[in-house]
Amino acid sequence: VSVPTGHSEKPVGWQVAMLRRWVPPDGQVLDLYAGWAPMARAARDQGVRYLGAEIDPTRHSEALTRLACLPVDSAVDYNRSTP
């Protein structure tokens, strides 16, 4: 997926690092500038609840497409005990 010139998408790895440092596993994230959803993808991978908003309809549509492509089991459930 190409990113329009003049906009920069942050790597999901950066978002994961921020989540691990600042958000507890049972926490939640409010992202008022969701863009192409890197924080949403990181939150999903880390098992953190996420609420995002994006005013640009193109970015919003692309974010929904990207999130829909992720398999449900890519999320980590920190509330589930490991055998």
Q: What is the pLDDT of residue 28?
A: 92
For 1-49, the pLDDT digits (tens) are 454 545 667 788 889 999 999 999 789 999 999 888 889 989 988 889 9
Q: Is the pLDDT of residue 67 over 60?
A: yes
pLDDT class for 64, splitting at 50, 70, 90?
A: confident
Distance separating alpha carbons of residues 73 and 14, to the nearest angstrom = 21
Residue 77's pLDDT is: 40
Distance, CA of 83 to CA of 71 (rounded, Å): 22
Residue 53 tokens read as: 């908003």
Q: Distance between CA atoms of 76 and 8, rounded to whole angstroms?
A: 27
pLDDT at 74 over 70: no
Predicted model pTM: 0.68
Q: Going by C-beta distance under 8 Å and a sequence separation of 6 or more, which residues neighbour residue 73?
A: none
